[in-house]
Amino acid sequence: MWLNIPSNSDFSIHNLPFGVFKTTDKGPRAGVAIGDHIVDLVAAAEHNLFGKRRFFKKVLEQSTLNEFIALGKPVTNRVRRKVQDWLSQATRPDNASAILCDRHSATMLMPVRVPNYTDFYSSIEHATNVGKMFRPDNPLLPNWRWLPVGYHGRASSIVVSGTPIQWPHGQLLPKGQETPVYGPTQQMDFELEMAFVIGKESPLGTPINIENAEEYIFGLVLFNDWSARDIQRWEYVPLGPFLGKNFGSSISPWIVPLEALKPFRTKGPKQNPAPLAYLSQRGIKNIDINLEVSVTSPKSNVETAVVKSNTRYLYWSMAQQLAHHTVNGCNVQVGDMMASGTISGPTPDSFGSMLELSWGGSKPLTLKDGSTRTFLQPGDTVTIRGWSEKEGRRVGFGEVTGLLKQ
């Protein structure tokens, strides 16, 4: 390989995730991350890296990847292989300077237009922890082990990493009072999640069989589903989250193709009772992705790692989530985003939210600058990172960050 890639880079030759970027002299376009660089797919098409097909360049010049993804995995995987072959040459190609961009000087944009968004509740540790706080005698509701619980959310306020998040306001019920008040949340939280992006449409009225579910999954992104816990607590009965979540969710800009994560497959938790037939899956469906959350206080601008977790803890797999989502005939569209729900592990340092880390505010966390947190504060920045690593092969997601503005 002629390009020097740092050994700890998330964007190795084994990864090659897709995103949309722009520079001072180039408008929005599709790209592939490799080390500290971006392969400009428009320029690559102009240099006939993918064959002489003019329409293809137009697809790559779009402001989102939706049209490109809609071409199907045979096409998108072929593009990825062509880029991989180009990067794997023994000597630097003559067209390298025209095709490569500096990743750190580029501006990353939303990789897809999100028509629809669904949030699941797929971590049994998270569901149990939250249940213990609010229903000590019955923490896990009877339906939880039978189906991937989820809800349809809003898609309009999903934003790319680096977009500031406005501090939310809404109705909340102060402790000991019977009448709600309107005001800023006092319990701002992050939620550590992964999301998968739909890459293939399905017709209305036709369920997606669990054995074919992964054909519809283009790739994965890191997902921070910001939550205002006090607003959510007052509003969520009987229909679930609304203003407590719809003010914003943040995603990482690079979509890691499902194919890049194949070497990191792992067994998930044993499911008991056995799922119903339409949720019964064969093979190894979970993925071993290390996850880390850090909080940076405006006081010191120093990061403090507060969570170390992993997607292998998820009780319900992506295939099961998608099969359940569509079993009644619900159709899916290219760019639809489906999030896992908060990913928590079995130990306190693997809990995926401030709600759990501080146990409802009763156990403050101390940051490196000496300040404490039970929930987030205005000016805090939250950063989520994720990566898989095995036998010298690293495939990462980069990061998703968000600054809380008041």
| Confidence check: pLDDT of 55 > 90 | no
Task: Inform me whether the pLDDT recorded for 54 exceeds 80.
Answer: no
Rounded distance between C-alpha atoms, residue 14 and residue 395, angstroms? 7
pLDDT at 52 over 90: no
Within 13 Å of residue 385, how many CA atoms lie on the same side as its CB? Answer: 16
Structure-token pair, residue 405: 């503005």
Instruction: Give the mean pLDDT of 203-220.
Output: 98
CA 331 → CA 148, 159, 200, 255, 322, distances in Å?
A: 17, 24, 10, 22, 10
Average pLDDT over residues 51-80: 93
Secondary structure (3-state) at 398: strand
At 355 the pLDDT is: 98
Annotated active-site residue in 37, 126, 324, 325: 126
In whole angstroms, give the CA distance from residue 56 to residue 75. Answer: 10
Distance CA 312, CA 390 (A): 14
pLDDT per position as a tens digit, 348-400: 999 999 999 999 999 999 999 999 999 999 999 999 999 999 999 999 999 99
CB 315 within 8 A of CB 321: no
Helix H or strand E segment including 366: strand 365-366
- Residue 202 in contact with residue 208, Cβ under 8 Å? yes
What is the average pLDDT value for the chain, to the nearest integer? 97
Residue for token digits 């880079």?
Answer: 9
Residue 220, phi then psi, degrees to nearest 5: -125, 150
Segments in 71-198 forming alpha helices (H): 73-87, 96-99, 124-134
| 3-state class (DSSP) for residue 376 | strand
Query: What's the one-letter identity of residue 7?
Result: S
Residue 51 pLDDT more than 90?
no
- Rounded to an integer, the average pLDDT of 300-317 is 97
Note if 126 is an active site residue. yes
Average pLDDT of the residues in 292-306: 96
5 pLDDT tier (thresholds 50, 70, 90): very high
- Structural domains of the chain, with CATH: 18-109 (2.30.30.230), 117-405 (3.90.850.10)
